[in-house]
Amino acid sequence: MAQLIYFTEGPRPDNAVLRDLGLAHVIRPNTDYPQFKHPATGPDGKPGTLFAANRGGAVPDYDSGSQTWQKCKRYWVGYVTDDKPGPDDLRREIRINGVDVELGDGNLWHVPVARLAPQSLVVNAEGEWVGEPDAKYGGLVKLAERIWELFVSRDDAKVTAKDGAPLAAEALAWNYHIGAAEVGLLRLLGTGNFVPILEAVIDIDAISAALDAQKKTDEPDPPSPSGSAGS
């Protein structure tokens, strides 16, 4: 499997340091990953630690001739140029159901639909069993709400990359071990695909269908983009 490679200066980082660096997405609980190589030399020639977060074999030494790297605020991220990682290499162990969208690398990436995230079953005031968003996926629900608010605020105007790309990268992180830096490094987003990612998260097709049905039946409100099942 292809892998992303990271470099940080100084001693080998533990999970607390990785979170502080903004690399919580590389932590894989109950596995022996990330794998580390320390001491090591990085792209800037300084001593530190190289590590890889997915099962791509041993962590390679830094080699400017065969690897592609990007500098982030407090770390470097790269990959072997002839072995660029894709969705199968970076997918999370548990993925949220959603929609496949072709991204800049030509691969289909599975974008989570917020309303399809696992739910907890609770009893409402009427004694009925209904679904409500699981607290574990509260961040995805809030992301869907932010995307919905962005679309509403823009009205008929186009959503700009400045506003939409960060939300699209955040959406991909729910199903893959990547963050904004990795999305940029792999050239996944472009002007033609970040909006479809946002539309997938809020399930724009379902919302449009509900709005059309509402017009015909004079129902009061369309469903929330993160609405609960069974209510």
**Two structure tokens written together for 156:** 């008929």
Same domain, 57 and 136: no
Same domain, 205 and 142: yes
Confidence at 220, pLDDT banded by 50, 70, 90: low
Residue with tokens 């919580």: 24
**Prediction pTM value:** 0.87
Is residue 225's pLDDT more than 90?
no
Among candidate residues 231, 229, 230, the one with its CA nearest the CA of residue 97: 229
- Cβ neighbours of residue 108 under 8 Å, at least 6 residues apart? 87, 100, 101, 102
> What range defines the domain where residue 9 resides?
4-85
Q: At what angle do helices 204-217 and 194-202 cross, to 10 degrees?
A: 50
- Reduced to 3 states (helix: H, G, I; strand: E, B; else coil), residue 166 is helix
Among candidate residues 170, 197, 180, the one with its CA nearest the CA of residue 103: 197
Confidence at 231, pLDDT banded by 50, 70, 90: very low
Domain assignment of residue 93, yes or no: no
Same domain, 127 and 62: no
Domain assignment of residue 91, yes or no: no
* Number of domains, the chain: 2
**Contact call for residues 92 and 136 (beta carbons, < 8 A):** no
Is residue 67's pLDDT more than 80?
yes
Domain assignment of residue 147, yes or no: yes
Is residue 118's pLDDT more than 60?
yes
Domain assignment of residue 224, yes or no: no
Same domain, 57 and 166: no
Confidence at 49, pLDDT banded by 50, 70, 90: very high
**Contact call for residues 172 and 109 (beta carbons, < 8 A):** yes
